[in-house]
Structure 1
Amino acid sequence: MNFNWEFFWQALFTPSRQFLDGLMLTIVISVVAMALAFIVGLIIALMGRSKFLPFKIFASLYIWVIRGTPLLVQLVIIYTGFAAAGIFRFEDADLFGLVIRGAVQAAIVGLMLNESAYVAEIVRSGLESVERGQHEAALSLGMTPLAAMRRIIVPQAIRIMVPPLGNSFNQMMKQTSILSIIGVSEMFQVGTIISSATFMVFEIYIVVALYYLLLTTVWTFIQAQIENVLNTRAGLPKAEPVFKRLFGVRSKKMTRQQLQQHADAVKA
């Protein structure tokens, strides 16, 4: 096997401007899509908990359809299918002097819709993990349902939701690699263009994989810090160090201790 080490190191440590633009686009799409997905997912989760039957039916159907169909198919329908059917066409937009291509808009919408269904389930399970008696107690003290949700339920549920939400974002960040199907020049698409021009297929795709690994690793550290802050506020021990998570070195004794302290905190 003829592996061009010189090209590999150059592509890894001094990537081209085109590759860096693709990397930045991957990050921006991931962050924006996840932020919007959380908002939509929260709304869907609250609709699912509503006593108004049409809201509950809509939330259930939304989650069923989105989770039951592939993201790739959803992207093609949103970007190509809608335009072919004359329903809607994503056109390039000018935002404060920055041109946002139609394909990028479709990518954000597609990822947002897909991820929001999973976020809705995470939010629902997080809200349901808080004892119902606390909600009833808040109402008995004169709080409105919205105030009880905002001041009592959500602060407790958010700590439970952070790990699955973080994992969901991690997964979505890697799924941006399929956005090339609708012409988005994210990192994987740029890597494909470079490999076609240089014929360094193996080398460039390893570089792309390492950059995805870098993104997910950085997010793992950020997620750990968020979990530690929330645990500290709740009077719980900090989460295990990130290196232990990455390399699978976990202390069973510490895990049991954390679980017991968590159970005591919930009872309190």
Structure 2
Amino acid sequence: MRTEPITDASGRQTPVARTWHWGRWLAAAVALAVAARLAYLIVANPNLDWGKVAEYVFHERILSGVWVTIEISVLATALGLILGVLVAIMRLAHNPVLSGLATFYIWFFRGTPVLVQLIFWYNLAFLFPEMVLKVPFTMIGVKWDTNQVMTGFTSAMLGLGLNLAAYFAETVRAGIQAVDNGQTEAAYALGMTPAKRMRVIVLPQALRIIIPPTGNEFISMLKTTSLVYVVAGHDLMTNASQIYKANNRIMELLIVASLWYMLMTAVATFLQGRLERRFGSEAVRLVRGGGLAARILPKAAA
């Protein structure tokens, strides 16, 4: 036990006894020892060639796979966010048909594994050998070979984007429902249409609730793209697996892929934090200044 003085507001010092928490120190020492042992077993393993790891970290095919992984993640997230907003609005619609279709969409894509969806889109040619786009009641149209359209990249972007839209829809719905009903009533009082009310009043305020989970979904998407190797999408995992199948350096290439995934996740986490701070401070500023509706509604009414 040790004693440390604490100074109060009047400047008087009061001795306070500090106790040693031996259990905490013991638990920390055991955890460090276990972690150090595991790290040593991996780093000093004679079957692991760290020279090969360094050789392939900046390999041309690995860097190409990293770029494709980023492309798929960004495009799939953008597609999922756009569709997610539409599905969320349909889910909240008073039309029972639209609401039912949105509910079914969310249930179906959340209920089936992502891997199954990727394989389905990649093999779509078994159901539709050709894709035809025709003008109704005419013979004018365009035809594509499905195998040429549904490449590994296209299948990955479509499968991941449609799956992500189901999760984004629930996130957006929660953000929309969190907006105060008074905002909606004020928009109706000004004669706004439901579409304009949603676009001008509700969605901007829902952003501060939607953005944090959206960032989390994007980070998860970066790692989920590793499933794309089953459709040969030329992403990071696909290229790494093709290399280790040729040289049998499985563990080395998996470590290379893991390093790049961790780097991309770290960058995405940093950007997410910046975005959350930006919109969080903006939301606080608007609330202190009278709220978002107080600023937007007079302009919309004019």
Q: TM-score, normalised by structure 2?
A: 0.72
1:35 pairs, out of 62, 71, 78, with: 78
Residue 52 (structure 2) pairs with residue 7 (structure 1): yes
Correspondence list, 1:19-58, <5 A: 19-58=62-101
1:204 pairs, out of 232, 253, 278, with: 253
Q: Which has the larger radius of gyration?
A: 2
Equivalents in 1 of 2:146, 2:77: separation in Å? 20
2:148 pairs, out of 78, 86, 92, with: 92
Q: Provide the identity percentage.
A: 37
Say whether the 8 Å CA contact 1:78–1:110 is kept in structure 2. Answer: yes
Give, as a single letter, the amino acid of the residue that structure 1 aligns with 2:67: M
Could you say which residue in structure 1 is the equivalent of 2:40?
Answer: none
The SS at the match of 1:234 is: helix
1:149 pairs, out of 198, 210, 224, with: 198
Could you say which residue in structure 1 is the equivalent of 2:238?
Answer: 189
Equivalents in 2 of 1:5, 1:57: separation in Å? 55
Residue 112 (structure 2) pairs with residue 69 (structure 1): yes
Please list the CA deviations of residues 14-65 of structure 1 after superposition, one character each: whole Å capped at 9, or x if unmatched: x221111111101001101110111111111111111111100100000001
Correspondence list, 1:200-239, <5 A: 200-235=249-284
Give, as a single letter, the amino acid of the residue that structure 2 aligns with 1:11: Y
Question: Aligned pair count?
Answer: 232
Say whether the 8 Å CA contact 2:128–2:146 is kept in structure 1. Answer: no
Does the C-alpha gap of structure 1 residues 90 and 21 become closer, same or farther in structure 2, counting only changes over 3 Å? farther
Equivalents in 2 of 1:8, 1:176: separation in Å? 22
Equivalents in 2 of 1:191, 1:79: separation in Å? 20
Note the C-alpha offset of 1:122: 0.4
Could you say which residue in structure 2 is the equivalent of 1:243?
Answer: none
Equivalents in 2 of 1:155, 1:56: separation in Å? 22
Say whether the 8 Å CA contact 1:90–1:105 is kept in structure 2. Answer: no
Query: For the aligned residues, what is the CA RMSD?
Result: 2.2
Equivalents in 2 of 1:5, 1:77: separation in Å? 38
Equivalents in 2 of 1:155, 1:67: separation in Å? 26
Note the C-alpha offset of 1:185: 1.5
Higher strand share: 2
Note the C-alpha offset of 1:223: 0.7
Q: Unpaired segments of 5 or more residues in structure 2?
A: 1-45, 132-144, 295-302
Could you say which residue in structure 2 is the equivalent of 1:111?
Answer: 160
1:162 pairs, out of 191, 211, 220, with: 211
User: Bigger CA drift: 82-91 or 107-116?
Assistant: 82-91
Q: Unpaired segments of 5 or more residues in structure 1?
A: 94-100, 237-260
The SS at the match of 2:284 is: coil
Q: TM-score, normalised by structure 1?
A: 0.81
